[in-house]
Structure formats: structure tokens, C-alpha cells
Amino acid sequence: MNTTILLITFVLYTLLLFFIAWLTSRNTDSKTYYTGNKSSNWFLVAFGMIGSSMSGVSFMSLPGNVINENFYYMPMVFGMFFGYAIIAGLLLPLYFKLNLTSIYTYLEQRFGSYSYKTGATFFIISRLLGATVRTFLVIFVLYNFVLEPLGVPFVVAAIIFVGLAILYTMKGGVKTIIYTDTIQTTFMIVAIVVSVCVICNQLDWSLGDMLKNVHDSDFSNLFDKDTASPTHWLKRFLSGVLIPIAMTGLDQAMMQKSLSCKNIKEAQKNVMTSILMMIPINLLFVTLGAVLAIFMQSHPELIEAVTTGAGKLEADKIFPTVALSLGPVVGVIFFVGLISAAYPTCANALTSLTTSTCIDIVGIEKHNWDDQKKKRVRMNVTYVMAILFVLLIVAFNILKNDAVINMVYQIASYTYGPLLGLFMLGILTKAKINDKVVPYVCVAAPVICYLIENFVFSFGFSLIAVCAAITFFGLLIFRKK
């Protein structure tokens, strides 16, 4: 695949995003940046949330991981439906009732300032780690196939990508992101559908042939029944219920867009429509993974291209390697889909991290500053977050040793678990706790979980439930009489 064509594609797509950012950022102020003036179209938010939730991790790792884990990801997706229902029925009414800009201000109202700062800090850590892992994967592919052949260092690739994400979100904020997310989700889905169609054509399959061959293959098992395995279906299902509550319902990046809807009913429609669309799209992703695995069996040179010197298959390289071997048209469509999956992750994270830091840590709304001063503070916070992004992306490039999709959910289990436990305690009980001990309990819970996971029993992705439970009951021990 010609690197010049890919580079031109990247530039043209980025220019399109900048044009949209310009259109949506006219006549905006600080309030527009954070809330979109509460005027966002619920369906656009729902459709765009698919791209935000799935990101470059799903686009790259999910199809590639099928060769190792079959369809074991799908029980988690089925569980997500119930997680999203809890978000729509329990969390959104709470956020709208309290008229929150940052969802973590609830913790201050319920427990106190220590809980508030702890919740916001755990979100910032969680989002920084999760978003940088996701962004790293895309930059890794962009670097390998486009920039490395041109002699560009990896750190420069990271700076370019994060810098571009900053530029197109800095003015418009959440309003810009909702529109760009919609376009990016569309391109991502088109890339998956085209890839499936072209590979099926190469294999001389009809739609019926594809479904039959995937079903009869060794890659389409849906339920892992090994109770000791981290991919056991019940562990995946339960984690599917809890992970979206934590990673979407308690995540400023995702909820910021839902809170920009006109009212609670539209926000609830947005959340439930989003998961109903996500289920078949995830099924399409794993189906592509099975098709890729079958295709590679008849092309040993592709297997060799994604195998390390130690004989290990690199799951994250399977989809790009196959796509870029199918000719320039598929290569360009794949590349646009990849960029489409990546930009929302980076841009959403920068916007939400800036929002949470400004409101929850700096206390920008509590100061009597004019709009120019608020804008300067917001921009400086964005720059700091961008520097942290680049540093973490470079670190992940050095440390990478696992399929990235697994790494993301491992991170989520340790960092979103305390958030989940803290919110559950506030919403499900009337307990009054010792606010000053909250930071200690929330730090202790992930440490205990790490020891359990590595030395006692593997919970897989459902470790988030264990971490939340330790936080929940640990805080109850210190409740006020």
C-alpha cells in the first residue's frame, strides 16, 4: 500500500474535521464548551456514542482477538444492554435532577469534598489511562504503515495526532464532538462492512456462504464454559453489566454528551438507542474477525506477517495487515475507518478531562472570573492533558505486551471500580460516611484486587465488580453512627 496515498487520506480527513469544528464553534462561550447549550439532537448523540464507546480498540483489537478468543466478547455485549438500562433509569434522572455540568459534583453533595475530589481524581486517572491506550493503538498502526517508512520517530507521530485532536476540539468542545462523532461512527461502520464484502468476494462467498462458513469454523464459539478462564461467559456477562455503568454512566466524557440533550427523555432515548445499535455492530465486528481468521488460513504469508519472532500472533496487526493487502481502495477505506475510530477517543478524553479538571479540581465555576480568564485556564489545562497523553502513549509503546482491548478493560477494573462502589453507596443507601477516609479506601481497593487477581483467583473483566464491592463495604465500615 502506497504510504503517500495513506498520508493524503489522513490529511484530507483531518481537514474535514477541522471544517466541522469551525462550523460548530462559531458564537460559542465557556458554557457551550461544557454543555453544548443543552440543545444537542438525541439521535446524533446516540449514534456518535457508538464510535466513542468502541473506538480504535474495537476497530483493531476486537476482530483480531477472535482468532484467540472466538466470540467470547459477545456475552459482555449482551450484559451491556442491562448496564445501559441502569444508566438510563437510575443515573440520568439523578444527573438531570441536580442539573450537573460535572457528574462528580454529586459526590460532594452526597458525601463531602474529599469524596468529590477522590471521584474526580479517579476519573481523570481512569480516562487518561484508558484513552491513551486506545489512542496508542491507532497511532501505532499509523506509525507502522505511514510514518515509519518516512523516517518519522514514534514520539513525533504521537505529538502530531494529539495536537490535531486538540486543535479541532479546543473551540467547540462538546458541540463539535457530537457532530464529528457522528461522521466518524459512519466511516467506521462503512469500513467494517466493505472489508467483510471484499474478503467474501476474494473467497468467492455469498452472504449465506459466509454465515455458514463462520458458523462451522473453529472461531465462532459464543460461550466459554471453563469457570477458571477469565473469558467464562458468566464473568463476561456480569462485567458487561457493570463496565458500561462505570465507563459510560460514571464517565464525564460519555455523560457530558448525554447531559447536553434538551431534556431527560431525550437523554434516555439516546442511551438506549445507542446500545440497541451497538449489539449488532459488535456482532459485525466479531464476524469480521472470524472471516479474517479463515482468510488468513489460506494465506500463510499473512500469518507470517503478524507473527513475532517468538511465534506469537499479534492480534492487533491482523486486521490492518489483511486490509492493506487487499488493494488501495480497501486500504484507504480501512485507514479512514481507523482514523474515524481514533479521533473521538482522543478528542472526547481531552474535552472531558479538561471539563473535570477545570470544574472539579480548579473550581472554575466557583471563581468570579470573566470569560477570557476562564478560557485561558481551560486552554492551559488542555495543554497539560495533551502532554500527559503523549508521555503515556510513548510509555505504552515501550511496554506493549498484550492485545490492547484486554489491557483497556484491565485498567477499567482497577480504576473505575472505586468510582462504581462510591456511586453505588451514595445512590443505593442512605449511609453517611467519614468523608476523610474515602481516598484511602478507594486507593486500597485496587491494590487488594491486584493481589487477588494475581495470587488467588482470576475474575477476568468482572474484577470491576470485586473492586466496587471492596470499596462499597470498606466505606460502610467507616460510616457515621
- Is residue 310 in some structural domain? yes
Sign of CA dihedral 227, 231, 233, 235: positive
Residue 433's closest CA among 119, 99, 91? 119
Residue type for position 211: L
pTM for this predicted structure: 0.76
Name the domain count of the chain: 1
Point out which residues pair with 198 in neighbouring strands: none
Distances (CA, A) of 76 to 24, 240, 274, 278, 469: 36, 4, 16, 12, 19
Task: Mention every residue, 6+ apart, whose C-beta is less than 8 A from residue 371.
Answer: 29, 30
- Distance CA(101)–CA(308), nearest Å, equals 47
pLDDT tens, position by position, for the chain (481 residues)?
Answer: 567 787 888 888 888 877 877 776 665 555 544 445 555 677 777 787 776 666 666 777 788 888 888 898 899 999 999 999 999 888 888 888 877 767 778 888 888 889 988 988 888 887 887 778 778 877 887 787 777 888 888 889 889 888 887 776 665 556 677 777 788 788 888 888 888 888 888 888 888 888 898 888 888 888 888 877 878 888 889 888 888 887 788 877 677 777 777 788 888 888 898 889 889 988 998 998 899 888 888 888 888 887 776 667 777 778 888 888 888 888 888 888 777 767 766 777 787 788 778 877 887 777 777 778 877 888 888 888 889 989 988 888 877 655 555 666 577 668 888 988 998 898 888 888 888 999 999 999 988 988 888 788 777 667 788 888 999 999 998 887 6
CATH number of the domain bearing residue 347: 1.20.1730.10
DSSP secondary structure letters along 326-345: S-HHHHHHHHHHHHHHHHHH
DSSP secondary structure letter of residue 230: T
- Would you state the pLDDT for residue 34? 47
Residue 129 near residue 411 (C-beta atoms within 8 A):
yes
Alpha helical stretches, state H, 25-148: 30-35, 42-69, 74-86, 92-98, 105-110, 113-142
Q: Give all strands (DSSP E) within 122-201, no chain letters.
A: none
Residue 95 near residue 426 (C-beta atoms within 8 A):
no
- Is residue 463 in some structural domain? no
Give the number of other Cβ atoms within 10 Å of residue 80's Cβ: 26
- Is residue 422 in some structural domain? no
- Would you state the pLDDT for residue 173? 57
- Would you state the pLDDT for residue 97? 82
Residue type for position 303: I
Query: Which strand (E) or helix (H) includes residue 300?
Result: helix 300-305
Residue 264's closest CA among 100, 106, 138? 100
- Distance CA(103)–CA(110), nearest Å, equals 12
CA dihedral 294, 405, 389, 466 (to 10 degrees): 180
Point out which residues pair with 307 in neighbouring strands: 313
- Is residue 259 in some structural domain? yes
- Is residue 456 in some structural domain? no
Task: Mention every residue, 6+ apart, whose C-beta is less than 8 A from residue 454.
Answer: none
- CA atoms lying within 13 Å on the CB side of residue 155: 7
94: buried, middle or exposed (CB in 10 Å: 19+, 13-18, 0-12)? middle
- Distance CA(238)–CA(82), nearest Å, equals 10
DSSP secondary structure letter of residue 102: S
Q: Which residues constitute the domain of residue 60? A: 3-404
Give the number of other Cβ atoms within 10 Å of residue 146's Cβ: 20
- Distance CA(176)–CA(167), nearest Å, equals 11
Residue 115 near residue 432 (C-beta atoms within 8 A):
no
- Would you state the pLDDT for residue 352? 75
- Is residue 465 in some structural domain? no
- Is residue 472 in some structural domain? no
- Would you state the pLDDT for residue 309? 67
CA–chain centroid gap for 283, Å, is 18
- Would you state the pLDDT for residue 406? 60
- Is residue 449 in some structural domain? no
- Would you state the pLDDT for residue 13? 81
Longest CA–CA separation in the chain, Å: 71
Residue 118 near residue 110 (C-beta atoms within 8 A):
no
Give the number of other Cβ atoms within 10 Å of residue 411's Cβ: 17
Distances (CA, A) of 382 to 25, 151, 322: 17, 29, 37
Residue 388 near residue 350 (C-beta atoms within 8 A):
no
Query: Which strand (E) or helix (H) includes residue 159?
Result: helix 154-169
- Would you state the pLDDT for residue 318? 84
What is the phi/psi pair of residue 193, to 5°? Answer: -60, -45
Residue 135's closest CA among 316, 393, 366? 393
